Structure 1
Amino acid sequence: MSDYRNDTTETVVVKRRSGGTTLAIVLVAAIVIVGLLFATGFWSADVKQGAMPEVSVKGGELPKVDMDSKEVVVGTSKTKVEVPKIKTETETVDVPTVGVKDNGEK
């Protein structure tokens, strides 16, 4: 005799990444970001001076640091851009009206 089963269950295989794969992805992303910062000139590896920055601290104040860094400049500039304009015109048209009329009125 044949055994026919109506078993519709499926086996699901879940692939999990190891911690090393996730760590490698984060490390590669960090290297790419640092590379872009150096390539755009936001960071620079200027090691000509080789001196430590001057730091002086007085009680109750933030330390004063003499440091050369890049400055982010934000502003506006005039540029011609095509902008769509909406124009309206006044026209006379027939519109429906609704009213109430007494029986005595004609």
Structure 2
Amino acid sequence: MFKRLMTMAALALTLGAVACTAEVEEEGKLPDVDVKGGEMPKVDVDPANVEVSTDTQTVVTPEVNVTPTEGDDK
């Protein structure tokens, strides 16, 4: 019963919104804005201590043998 009532209410609101029409009678315009210089905030930043280094690793890769099939020109 509640679902049916909510469905009918939603349908009525949808039909009411669709039935409305709107026409622009007078074009609007943007307001005049006067922009003056400002000041950046002063911020005290303590950056993180990051250590960068390199390391050599050996990666073992499998050996792959590819035998193309006859007539495979790609």
Calculate the TM-score normalised by the size of structure 2. Answer: 0.26
Calculate the TM-score normalised by the size of structure 1. Answer: 0.20
Rg larger in 1 or in 2?
1
Q: Which has the higher contact order (CA 8 A, sep 6+)?
A: 1
